Structure 1
Amino acid sequence: MKNPVLYLIPVTLGDTPVEKVIPSFNTTVVSGLKYFIVENVRSARRFLKKSNPDIDIDTLTFYELNKHTDPNQIVSYLTPMKSGENMGVISEAGCPAVADPGADMVAIAQQEGYRVVPLVGPSSILMAIMASGFNGQSFSFHGYLPIDAGERIKKLKQLETRAYNEDQTQIFIETPYRNLKLAEDILQHCKPQTRLCIAMNISCEDEFIVTRSVKAWKGKLPDMHKKPTVFLIYRG
């Protein structure tokens, strides 16, 4: 029996046309799969239909993997692979297993000795660093910063210190409705010369990726409400 493959399938970062950011090879792979591990069944079905309008969604099997999933169930999701079936992992946006629960699935597949194949597609983190003008040789992604205001400010100062001491780009994200609060904290508590890149709606029609010093951003923050945003800071 052939060694089955777990394909990691990137999706669009917004309402971007699939053909703009997803290679046609991915659509060929996706069209041959019957089993998918997804963060959200509804959005996964929508993406698959956008990728290939001829796909018969009702013949596919979906396993939902997100923060509500019982950890004890996760291992059973790979059962089809024991019979030689290939499977796909689909995130809510961008690349699966990067800042994403899909990483747990990949870890199990690696332990079981299955082939893991990442497909090409958009990653907001990498695209943000590409367009920031910051150090692309050394960078660190921190996911979400603490919700508590005091802890968040403390963390911001730690990251800024690392940017200077280690010549390293610091990258983080926020829940979209809290973007403005985070941006205001950066402007208030980071050094005036520290550079901040705000990267919003990457690859979408209203994409916004701008780098300025903290001082230059004051009074000029864009409307970030409910827009997926990546924040990057780097030494001035």
Structure 2
Amino acid sequence: MSGVLYLIPNTLGEGDADALAAVLPAPVRARAAALGYYIGENAKTTRAFLKKVGTERPIQEIDVRELNVNTPAGEIDRLLAPILAGTDAGLVSEAGCPAVADPGALLVRRAHERGVKVVPFVGPSSILLALMASGLNGQSFAFHGYLPVDAGERAKRLRELEQQSRKIKQTQIFIETPYRNRALLDTLLASCAPSTIVCVAVDLTLASETIVSRAVSDWKKKPAPDLHKRPAIFLLLGV
């Protein structure tokens, strides 16, 4: 009988065991502490996560393997092999929920194909937290990941998303590499109509959390929060 693949959320930023306890329920932390096999994007940061969890066995005895954008497709079955042999495993992301905007989705898909039970656990999702706090349409929304890096292509894509949002009343959600946050906001404000609502949610769940939601015309009148090198979620709704 195969083991179970547990999807274990991580914190959304730096923090200690107290920070972990604030966003992960006790049963999730207990299950995470009991597992002897982990798959994460980076072995070092996965072990740092386990240190905060407080594992039942020494961390050096836990089998930690990597799954990231550089992992060959053929490696997925090798990562799944211990689970098929009966070992329970935890899949953990660098931040937030595994398999959402995360390479772990490939492992989850293969687990389903091989008949492995997949159990998702409750934890912080920056996408949903930002949507909840934005005041934008939570009945219909779409997450687009990263937008094009090229300035012209990025502006074109934002205008397309705004048009789609206005047409079907759908909230559009996207992210950016932290050091390009300000450039993305500037492009948003230059490309979108004055009435379009833009929300920027920064450092979610952290002490420095900042969430601002207002029309483009108001964004241009008021100072924007400091976005430099801070994890952020961007949302827009054409109205």
Normalising by the smaller structure, the TM-score range is: over 0.9
Measure, in 2, the Cα distance between the counterparts of 1:199 and 1:214. 15
List 4+ stretches of structure 1 deviating above 2 A: none
Measure, in 2, the Cα distance between the counterparts of 1:207 and 1:38. 26
Measure, in 1, the Cα distance between the counterparts of 2:51 and 2:93. 15
| 2:99 counterpart residue number | 97
**How far is 1:41 from its partner?**
1.1
Measure, in 2, the Cα distance between the counterparts of 1:75 and 1:152. 36
**How far is 1:22 from its partner?**
0.5
Match of 1:44 among 43, 46, 49: 46
Amino acid at match of 1:152: R
| 2:235 counterpart residue number | 232
**How far is 1:27 from its partner?**
1.5
Q: How many residues align?
A: 235
| 2:126 counterpart residue number | 124
**How far is 1:53 from its partner?**
6.0
**How far is 1:54 from its partner?**
5.6
| 2:187 counterpart residue number | 185
8 Å CA contact retained: 1:49, 1:55: no
Question: TM-score normalised to the size of structure 1?
Answer: 0.97
Report the 3-state secondary structure (helix = DSSP H, G, I; strand = E; otherwise coil) of the residue aligned with 1:146.
coil
Can you list the C-alpha shifts for 1:129-182, whole angstroms capped at 9, x where unaligned? 000001101000000000111111110000000110000000000000000000
Report the 3-state secondary structure (helix = DSSP H, G, I; strand = E; otherwise coil) of the residue aligned with 2:235.
strand
Can you list the C-alpha shifts for 1:16-74, whole angstroms capped at 9, x where unaligned? 41111011111211122111110111111111111116641100111111112122212
8 Å CA contact retained: 2:12, 2:96: yes
Answer with 10-19 or 49-58: which moved more.
49-58
Superposition pairs for residues 76-225 of structure 1, below 5 Å?
76-218=78-220, 220-225=223-228
Identity of aligned residues (%): 49
Measure, in 2, the Cα distance between the counterparts of 1:31 and 1:54. 6
Measure, in 2, the Cα distance between the counterparts of 1:120 and 1:56. 25
**How far is 1:82 from its partner?**
2.1
Any unmatched runs of 5+ in structure 2?
none
CA-based RMSD: 1.1
Measure, in 2, the Cα distance between the counterparts of 1:58 and 1:178. 37
8 Å CA contact retained: 2:34, 2:56: no
**How far is 1:113 from its partner?**
0.4
